[in-house]
Amino acid sequence: MSLRIKGVVDKFVEELKEALDADIQDRIMKEREMQSYIEEREREVAERESAWKAELSRRQAEIARQEARLKMERENLEKEKSVLMGTASNQDNQDGALEITVSGEKYRCLRFAKAKK
């Protein structure tokens, strides 16, 4: 009877070892699959991040170009305004002349006439 019990116990131990080995192999496979999935997701995220950074860089460069163009246009506008408007001041001269300064050049006007239509 003890040989029969020993045989049953040995068979149980053998089946338990096989079940444990199968479980270990299953866990190893799941771990590999999970690692593969994680690596793929990390790759996808890195690609999207790279594309996003490239787009951001492109937009920043475009903004810089537009800012430079606007700055140049503003400077040109200021130059035009100073040329077109000049500065006029009524001098309390004895002759009542109006002095106008345009781009650093002074002009004196002694008489005024209404513009003809």
Indicate if 74 and 94 belong to the same structural domain: no
Indicate if 73 and 94 belong to the same structural domain: no
Contacts of 53 (CB under 8 A, 6+ apart): none
Q: Are 88 and 98 in contact (CB under 8 A)?
A: yes
Model confidence band, residue 13 (pLDDT cutoffs 50, 70, 90): very high
Specify the pTM. 0.47
Residues recorded for the chain: 117
Domain extent at residue 103: 85-116
What is the identity of the amino acid at 72? M
Residues 58-78: what's their mean pLDDT?
95
Indicate if 52 and 69 belong to the same structural domain: yes
Judged by average pLDDT, the poorest of 17-26, 50-59, 87-96, 107-116 is 87-96
The CA R_g of the chain, rounded to the nearest whole Å, is 45
